[in-house]
Amino acid sequence: MLEVRDVRKTYGEAADGYVALDGISVDIRPGEFFCLLGPSGCGKSTLLNIIAGFEKVSSGAVSFDGEVVNRAGRDRMMFFQDAGSALLPWLTVEENIRFALRVRRVPKERWGEIVTNHLRMVDLDAHREKLPSQLSGGMRQRLQIARALAVEPRVLLMDEPFAALDAMTRRRMHAQLLEIWQRTGQTIVFVTHDIAEAIALADRIAIMSVGPRSTFLRVIDVDVPRPREMSGAFYAETFGEIEQLLTPEIRRSEARLG
């Protein structure tokens, strides 16, 4: 269980700083696919980085299985939008995964099998010897997924992982991610500003208000089996519900910007 308790985050000095998050609480269940959805700048990345342990809270706390999170931990694996900078460009596809196993102190005898399994899982088996610069954007993201899963984290934290991909590749990545998630039973916290993406993937969607002082406007349950038809009635309904929540928020932020 991932517990977020009344988390507040102020950037800069307390007195005149920027209050990015103002009291966020949620319990994310083991094995849940949880989406954070909100307009740009609302603090999605901030919250995710706090859960990962990269950023400190100003008040409140995040705990994982009862232990307070205050630094990056091996059970929570962050997954970055820019795969190019998250991977090691001087190592081949295969070596990138071996790097993960090496720093994770996985016994060497098991490396060969783990590498093969995970590269097969994301269809990169035929590209073992390539460098990340020789892969397409989607392939690099798949490599990042394979590397993240190879160390068997219990929580995957994903910050707009597919935002930079074209629509077709993104669809394929969604299907692959869901398939892996259903198989491994990992908890996923997934950040996006794409309503359709959130509906396609999540068990629950947290809608965030625009900053400063961003909070959860509502947490929506998406109780529909997967794969979800984009043309289904529930889809239009959920989409409408979310839009109704977000439109005044976006208008508010536009008004403030003048």
Partner 1 sequence: MTDLSLRQAGAEAPRTGPSLARMPRLWRNLRGSLLAPASIAMALVVWQIASSTVFDPFLVPPPTAVAKAAWPMIVSGEILHDVTISMTRVLVGFIAGSALAIVVGVLIGRIQILHDLFDPIIELLRYLSPTAMIPIAVIWFGIGEMSKYFLIFWGTFFIVLVNTVVGVWRTPAARQRAAECLGASRLEIFLLIVIPSATPFIVTGMRVAMASSFMSIIPAEILAADSGIGYLLQKSSMLLQTDKIFVALITISTLGFLTDRVFRIAVKRMLSRFMLADAGAH
Ligand X SMILES: Nc1ncnc2c1ncn2[C@@H]1O[C@H](COP(=O)(O)OP(=O)(O)OP(=O)(O)O)[C@@H](O)[C@H]1O
What are the strands, taking DSSP E only, across the chain?
Answer: 2-11, 18-28, 33-37, 59-64, 67-68, 76-79, 155-159, 187-192, 204-208, 216-221
Upstream peptide bond of 161 is cis (omega within 30 degrees of 0):
no
Q: Compose the 39-78 pattern: x for residues touching ligand X by CB under 6 A, - for all others.
A: -xxxxxxx--------------------------------
At 214 the three-state DSSP class reads strand
- How crowded is residue 32: how many other Cβ atoms within 10 Å of its Cβ? 18
Rank residues 94 and 159 by Cβ distance to Mg ion and give the closer one.
Answer: 159
- How crowded is residue 30: how many other Cβ atoms within 10 Å of its Cβ? 12
Q: Which stretch binds ligand X (CB under 6 A): 38-46, 71-79, 169-177, 242-250?
A: 38-46
Binder of ligand X out of 98, 140, 142, 193 (CB under 6 A)? 193
Rank residues 79 and 98 by Cβ distance to ligand X and give the closer one.
Answer: 79
Q: Which of residues 76-115 bind partner 1 (CB under 8 A)?
A: 76-78, 80, 82-91, 99-100, 103-105
Q: Which of residues 199-218 bind ligand X (CB under 6 A)?
A: 211
Q: DSSP letter string over 223-255?
A: --PSSPPTTSHHHHHHHHHHHHHHHHHHHHHHH
CB under 5 to 8 A by kind: which of partner 1, ligand X, Mg ion, none does 20 bind? ligand X
CB under 5 to 8 A by kind: which of Mg ion, partner 1, ligand X, none does 46 bind? ligand X
CB contact set of 248 (below 8 Å; sequence gap of 6+): none
Q: Give the position of tokens 């979800």.
A: 228
CB under 5 to 8 A by kind: which of ligand X, Mg ion, partner 1, none does 11 bind? ligand X
Alpha-carbon distances, residue 173 vs 79, 150, 152, 165, 207 (angstroms): 14, 17, 19, 9, 23
Angle between helix 137-150 and 111-121 (nearest 10): 140
CB under 5 to 8 A by kind: which of ligand X, partner 1, Mg ion, none does 23 bind? none
Tell me if 160 sits within 8 A of 81, measured CB to CB. yes
Q: Which of residues 62-81 bind partner 1 (CB under 8 A)?
A: 72-74, 76-78, 80
Q: Which of residues 35-64 bind Mg ion (CB under 5 A)?
A: 45
Of the candidates 86, 78, 83, 16, the one whose C-alpha atom is nearest the C-alpha of residue 47 is 78
Rank residues 128 and 204 by Cβ distance to ligand X and give the closer one.
Answer: 204
Rank residues 83 and 220 by Cβ distance to partner 1 and give the closer one.
Answer: 83
Q: How far is the CB of 181 from ligand X (least distance, A)?
A: 22
Residue 194 is a binding residue for Mg ion (CB under 5 A): no
Residue ranges binding ligand X (CB under 6 A)? 11, 18, 20, 38, 40-46, 193, 211
Contact set with partner 1 (CB under 8 A): 52, 54, 72-74, 76-78, 80, 82-91, 99-100, 103-105, 131-133, 140, 144, 147-148, 151, 153
